[in-house]
Amino acid sequence: MSTPSLFSRSARGSVSSIGEAELIRSIRRWLGRASPPAPAGIGDDCAVLRPARGRELLTVDPVVQGVHFDARTPARAAGAKLLKRNLSDIAAMGGRPRAAVVALALDARVSLEWLEAFYRGMSVEGRRRGVPVVGGDVTLLPGSFVATLALTGEAAGRILTRAGSRVDDWIYVTGSLGRSRPTGHHYRFEPRLAEGAWLARRRAVRAMIDVSDGLAKDLAALTPRGAAPAVYARWLPVRPGATVREALCDGEDYELAFSVAAGPGGAALERAWRRAFPRTRLSRIGRFVRAGAVPAGALALGGYRGYEHLRPA
């Protein structure tokens, strides 16, 4: 798949050649059916939405050039990734996505061809998931490109937070882990929306998180006070070609990790999962134990560091 460059070599093909009003018209055209008319969409001071059913979920995540995508990432995939990163956060609560707003901060030399592909990729993903882009902002950022998407969602039923795990709970993770960036998984992943909503309906599931900063780091956020995760290397769904360290530390897996009450609930959940999601791998990777009681055969997760967002290149 060939992709245009982020920065245009000619002034004619760049954002600066058309100015703000025309750019916003173009964005609406590129979004197509993912761009409803104002005031339900782009074109007024705020977007006007029906209120959430049940509780509302709200999250925000950007894609930054050189951090979340680079010249090897197709522009369409970068646009889809911006939405999918946020969808993964909604999935991790067991919620349903509703609508997005997108703030662009970009160099005036950004290529219109690249930007069109970026928005068309976002539009395809938005239409697949029923998520319109209802508003945004465009501003100048010399030398770079930052697109920030805020996503609102809803959860009519139970919400799964990161809190609620207990000692003896089983720990599960979906999909495979590690080497997300070199394999392109970081933009090809599918946010686990159906899986997250299904898990929220099962009482045996106690707590959930999306694995985006590396399992070692994200699992710490799921671990109850006074406990430690006992995770076994041989149970980890390591991506083919990845090491255990990469599976624990790489980040951008966009999988779900969750805890399940000890007892027969785990086996029942696994059977039901295989019927509901025959193509989505589910791995029981360990359990929470009392702090200081991690068995000798388990991984010492404290020795693995997750993805650090503020480490200069």
The footprint of its own copies on residues 184-223 (CB under 8 A) is 209-210
Q: Choose the stretch contacting its own copies; rule: CB under 8 A; options: 1-9, 70-78, 101-109, 116-124.
A: 101-109
Q: How far is the CB of 41 from its own copies (least distance, A)?
A: 11
Candidates 137, 157, 272, 276: give the one binding its own copies (CB under 8 A): 137
Q: Choose the stretch contacting its own copies; rule: CB under 8 A; options: 2-10, 19-27, 181-189, 259-267.
A: 19-27
Instruction: State the Cα angle at 258 between 252 and 264, rounded to 5°.
Output: 150
Query: What is residue 11's DSSP assignment?
Result: G
Closest to 136 (Cα-Cα) out of 200, 126, 144, 128: 126
Candidates 124, 146, 167, 244: give the one binding its own copies (CB under 8 A): 146
Q: How far is the CB of 306 from its own copies (least distance, A)?
A: 9
Cα(24)–Cα(30) distance, rounded to whole angstroms? 10
Closest to 289 (Cα-Cα) out of 278, 276, 299, 277: 299
Candidates 4, 43, 182, 224: give the one binding its own copies (CB under 8 A): 43
Residues 232-291 that bind its own copies (CB under 8 A): none
73 binds its own copies (CB under 8 A): no
Q: How far is the CB of 264 from its own copies (least distance, A)?
A: 28
| Omega prior to 39 cis, within 30 of 0 | yes
Cα(227)–Cα(290) distance, rounded to whole angstroms? 4
Cα(160)–Cα(117) distance, rounded to whole angstroms? 35
Structure tokens at 19: 């100015």
164 binds its own copies (CB under 8 A): no
158 binds its own copies (CB under 8 A): no
